[in-house]
Amino acid sequence: MWIADQWKDYEVLDTSSGEKLERWGNYILVRPDPQVIWNTAHEHSNWKKKNAHYHRSSQGGGEWEFINLPKEWSIQYRDLTFNLKPFSFKHTGLFPEQAVNWDWFSSIIRSSSRPLKVLNLFAYTGGATLAAAKAGASVTHVDASKGMVNWAKENAASSGLENAPIRWLVDDCVKFVEREIRRGNTYDGIIMDPPSYGRGPKGEIWKIEDSIYPFIELASKILSPDPAFFLVNSYTTGLQPAVLSYMIQTVVGKKFGGITQAEEIGLPVTQSGLILPCGASGRWSK
């Protein structure tokens, strides 16, 4: 398992009964987590000191209970700053477990003997974009949500990257890649974090089990002749690390050689000393 254990401003304090107790900077949140199927005693004292609690509804969705939480605050990871705010469906605007991937491709970018062009697809609020840019890459950031792209721009400004070579695009990722193929544009590194389910601009259905392999094939066509890395993230339970590895090796590894790996990614839990699984990632590098 790849573990994001270098955080100072974020911590999973405890887990129990379908929920995780988290410290985001100076604030304590309780949020649901489908992986937490165990029921243990609430031994950590901060269960009683929470600033907000997201309550899952039996009808689907849920709502926040705010006790003492600002509308927005920020935390840091290494030399990056992220602006957080609670919004619908339990999220805060950041997935801390992804830091283990940021460190991986940042090392590749920094050790490269040439400037790298990186494409970040389904790029959300820009954690991977900022990490790649800070490491020295020029980045194209693509997400279908204008609100998420604006949020990512705010994070870039907070991280001192407002003048970094980042191209911000509000676009459907599949349509964008298809146009890049026609334009002949290529990238040295590709990052993708596709949703489990979604709809395209004309109502096209994206279901990750059906769409991910064709999309990896499509994206591989805009890799440069000498690419540096390829990363696929998944939070879909049925998409095991071995499946990610098989797809990436079949499409990218077979063509370019290199090394393909896939693992669960996770976060350490302070109270138990165990690791909370948080999805899976597949990586390829030269």
Say if 86 falls within a structural domain: no
Residues sharing a CB contact under 8 Å with residue 184, sequence separation 6 or more, in sequence order: none
* Last residue of one domain, picked from the residues 70, 87, 113: 70
Mean pLDDT by 10 residues, the chain (286 residues): 98 98 98 95 96 90 95 98 93 97 98 98 97 98 96 98 98 96 98 83 73 96 98 89 97 98 98 97 97
131 lies in the same domain as 37: no
Is pTM beyond 0.85? Reply is: yes
10 Å CB burial of residue 223 (0-12, 13-18, 19+) is buried
117 lies in the same domain as 59: no
CA–CA dist 73, 184 (Å, integer):
41
pLDDT for position 271: 97
Say if 79 falls within a structural domain: no
Taking CA atoms, 15 is separated from 46, 130, 273, in Å, by: 12, 29, 11
Say if 152 falls within a structural domain: yes
Say if 46 falls within a structural domain: yes
Give the structural domain span for 225: 96-285
Q: Are strands 27-32 and 19-24 parallel, antiparallel or unpaired?
A: antiparallel
pLDDT for position 195: 82
Say if 124 falls within a structural domain: yes
